[in-house]
Amino acid sequence: MMKGFVTGLFLGVALVWAGAASADEAGTIRLGAAVSLTGKYSSNGAFTRNGYDLAVKRINEEGGVTVAGKTYKLEVVYYDDESTPARGAQLVERLIQQDGVKYLLGPYSSGLTEAIAPVTEKYGVPMVEANGAAVSLFRKGYRYLFAVLSTTDQYLRGAVELAANVNEDPSKLRVAMAFENDPFSQDVREGVMEDAAKFGMKIVIDDKLPPELNDMSATLSKAKVLKPDLLLVSGHDKGAALVVRQLADQRVDVPMLAITHCDSAQIAEKFGKIAEYTLCAAQWASTLKYSDALFGSAADYATLYEETYGHAAPYQAAESSAAVQVFADAFERAGSLEPDAVRDALAETDIKTFYGPVKFDETGKNMSKPTVLFQVQDGKYVVVYPQAFAEAEVRWPTPSWSAR
């Protein structure tokens, strides 16, 4: 923890970093965040908070931010949204109306971001978010919403392209899909559908997974009969763990499996050999050749994160750290702490970070950074797509269970 910061739990819902005075009085800029500390998104919520905290710590260690000749430190006011959209919206209202927070960091998940964006928009409070990638968020004309990550429709497009590239006739490929019925996963599906149609692939399974996902046997039983060439799954970290485990349990052979949330579900670490060959959509990898003055290279960030938190850096943490960096850059360029001035500076952002380039289009999307695909190879997450970032060739097809 940073020197001078105090943490406490208030009524089981609020985790607040010390410092209730305004920025002008205390030389401190307070950012607010409602994140999932409990509930189904708690693991990813923890990664989100870790990323925010690590960036705040580094920025403060380097002297803070300078606005119109005055130096400020950063603090974050946290509340637990309990992985519930309605609770998230309520807490953001509280942050703005009761706590006087003028700048928001986003929650974890597209669903919660979708719930709180109307609140920040209503009050004209700039929000830089790092974990709400649903493309639908950027079709609503929000002026105060900015996202450092690539949109969800990009997540599994690379898997469709890889499948097309390794097969002589992509139009003969049969695709199975199982996506959670939430904004994030349904937008992932949208991107897959577009690219599958482009290559003339046939969709043979198109299942919606329930939010409280505990079993994928129905989808996998269909896959065992229909024998798709490519199976695509998005159900956050719970869905990632389920499909890897149950494919092995049911001995379902699929030449190519691509899923979201591999790293947060820790499929390679938890499932060992049965996770081999799995393709994993990701926003960031520590092997990418990105760097900045605050954290150094992507690899340097990964090392610092692991030293600080005791586990490998997931992309959810990396993108969260980048969101804080974007705010710090905007504060300095705005030359003012007025929310509208900060909002206008955010709209003009064009920076390079350890996480990748950040430049927003008119809708608030980051239009500069690609997504990547890992593949689990020999127990490690290895980038195999896009080609410009690839560390190794994709291993395909996945051997049958009887041959593994």
Sign of the CA dihedral with 328 first, then 330, 336, and 342 last: negative
252 within 8 A of 223, measured Cβ to Cβ: yes
Q: Tell me which DSSP letter residue 201 carries.
A: P
Question: Domain residues of the chain, as ranges?
Answer: 24-150+288-359, 154-282+372-403
What per-residue confidence (pLDDT) applies to 231? 98
pLDDT, residue 25, reads 52
What per-residue confidence (pLDDT) applies to 387?
87
**DSSP 8-state code for residue 337:** -
The closest of 247, 275, 268, 162 to 175, measured between CA atoms, is 162
pLDDT at residue 20 in the model: 39
pLDDT at residue number 396: 96
What's the pLDDT score for residue 10? 36
Token pair in block for residue 123: 């009050």
Element at 25 (helix H, strand E):
helix 23-26
Burial class of residue 5, CB neighbours in 10 A (0-12, 13-18, 19+): middle
| Spatial distance between the Cα atoms of 273 and 253, rounded to a whole number of angstroms | 15
Quote the CA–CA distance of 17 and 76 in Å, as a whole number: 6
Query: Residue 174, Cβ neighbours under 10 Å: how many?
Result: 16
Asked if 146 and 128 count as a contact pair (C-beta separation under 8 A), the reply is: yes
DSSP single-letter state for residue 99: S
Instruction: Please tell me the distance from the alpha carbon of residue 123 to that of residue 398, in angstroms, as a whole number.
Output: 51
Nearest to 373 by CA among 253, 263, 290, 241: 263
Whether 154-282+372-403 and 24-150+288-359 are alike in CATH topology: the answer is: yes
**Any alpha helices (H) in 177-314, and if so which ranges?**
183-199, 217-226, 236-250, 262-265, 267-271, 298-309
Check residue 366 and report its DSSP letter: B
pLDDT, position 370: 87
* CA–CA dist 385, 256 (Å, integer): 14
Number of H helices, E strands in the chain: 13, 19
| CATH number 3.40.50.2300 given to 24-150+288-359 | yes
Residue with tokens 């109307």: 118
Please report which helix (H) or strand (E) contains residue 51, including its range: helix 42-61
Three-state SS at 291? strand
Which pLDDT belongs to residue 263? 81
**Does CATH place domain 154-282+372-403 in 3.40.50.2300?**
yes
> What does each of the 404 residues of the chain score in pLDDT, given as a tens digit?
333 333 333 333 444 443 333 454 569 999 999 999 999 999 999 999 999 999 999 999 999 999 999 999 999 999 999 999 999 999 999 999 999 999 999 999 999 999 999 999 999 999 999 999 989 899 999 999 999 999 989 999 999 999 999 999 999 999 999 999 988 899 999 999 999 999 999 999 999 999 888 999 999 999 999 999 999 999 988 999 999 999 999 999 999 999 999 988 999 999 999 999 999 999 999 999 999 999 999 999 999 999 999 999 999 999 999 999 999 999 999 999 999 999 999 999 999 999 999 999 999 999 999 899 999 999 999 999 988 889 999 999 999 999 99
Half-sphere exposure of 335 (CA within 13 A, CB side): 0
